[in-house]
Structure 1
């Protein structure tokens, strides 16, 4: 099932990549979510070696370059996305290393090397959450930080009908599913908030911040009118889950 998901998702992303060019990159963490300027989760990235899991079109790495990161590394399942990112980043100040690969596999990334690993709206595409978290742990230096954002697990479980939220699927149901808003054959993974947190803890991370707030400015309302992440729905439930964690100095086996 894992290999089938990866093959299907790669094909899907290669086809739809142009539609997501520059969609919600850093400093954004997701639609109708607070931005890095509000949260300051990354801190000063100058001189840092950074790795983007699911780097997409490369715009988040471009943001890191503008903030003087020392090295820009990225991994993405899609050949189209990697080619786009290479073109976008060809004049970056920092050296760039991009890999076309599933996040569940290490395509040759150095271990215990990165100061920051992050993933913006990509982690829910993993076919093996535990393996991906293990890889992230291996890539980071002791004390390095891992930040990810993804659609909040509640968001796709409820629909806004008039002024009421109607739940259409159990929050407790986890695993592979076809996302209602994704208009191409693909398989994402549904996990509870506790599953993300516990997998990080079991993988050798300390949780530093869990964020479920929304941003409901006039600009946000205009950008997301009549979309999957609607302004009205965001008034009642979070769109995005953001978690900041840090690799322990010494991993404890469980």
Structure 2
């Protein structure tokens, strides 16, 4: 099943603005993934579902030698281009993430980042296989997604439901869809793709989120919102 979940038009504009300093993207997910990344100096990085370029900009600031961003939304790519500016070390591609990354060669990246994107996709296993393929031996995948417990709290039903759900997108008035999954499914698919688990975190908002939205800051300290992992491709 192919579902278009790219954030286009006003929703893409809202996301780009919100992700800049919002409590969830800027102060929960991004700090967690960069803590998992460690030193990225000199690395060649693929950002899958690069959105408005926030991770790309920070990767370059932290010393990544080259970053390739892939995104399905023309709106978000426009924001990403504006954010990274004239940087010859950054390449951006518009590409449907339900399709293979066949324009990228095997064994060419030190690090792949997939921030809060793969739960939107029906072809999760394909995306993980492609991440594994394009990584150099010993390379790492950083991946974050909605926490299965949060889905259970928000949407009810059985924890083991893996249906596609619609949820309100912040204060935008719009909704977006994604497929919820159990922790067993989440980790199992990563292991089946050939990755080994190095680190697993359930991030909470940093103190900086208090000045943005204290109520949402507190929510992340009561209910797990996201889960993030660092996975390793074998040598």
Matched, 1:41 2:36: yes
| Shift in Å, 1:96 | 1.6
| Shift in Å, 1:87 | 2.5
- Pick one of 75, 90, 94 that aligns with 1:100: 94
TM-score, scaled to structure 1: 0.80
Question: 1-side partners of 2:15 and 2:54: how far apart?
Answer: 11
Matched, 1:127 2:122: yes
CA RMSD of aligned residues (A): 2.7
Question: 2-side partners of 1:205 and 1:125: how far apart?
Answer: 21
TM-score, scaled to structure 2: 0.86
Q: Which residue of 2 aligns with 1:162?
A: none
| Shift in Å, 1:141 | 0.7
Contact 1:30 1:150 in 2 (8 A): no
Question: 2-side partners of 1:82 and 1:181: how far apart?
Answer: 19
**Which runs of 5 or more structure 2 residues have no equivalent in the other structure?**
none
Give the 3 Å change call, closer, same or farther, for CA 52–186 of structure 1 in structure 2. Answer: same
Matched, 1:147 2:117: no
Question: 1-side partners of 2:47 and 2:70: how far apart?
Answer: 6
Question: 2-side partners of 1:221 and 1:54: how far apart?
Answer: 27
Contact 1:54 1:75 in 2 (8 A): yes
Question: 2-side partners of 1:221 and 1:114: how far apart?
Answer: 36
| Shift in Å, 1:180 | 3.8
Structure number with the higher helix fraction is 2
Contact 2:150 2:223 in 1 (8 A): yes
Q: Which residue of 2 aligns with 1:224?
A: 213
Residue correspondences, number: 231
Q: Which residue of 2 aligns with 1:163?
A: none
Question: 2-side partners of 1:148 and 1:120: how far apart?
Answer: 6
Give the 3 Å change call, closer, same or farther, for CA 135–23 of structure 1 in structure 2. Answer: farther
Taking the TM superposition and a 5 Å limit, the aligned residue runs for 1:65-144 are 65-92=60-87, 94-105=88-99, 106=101, 108-144=103-139
**Which runs of 5 or more structure 1 residues have no equivalent in the other structure?**
160-166, 250-254
Q: Which has the larger radius of gyration?
A: 1
Contact 2:168 2:175 in 1 (8 A): no
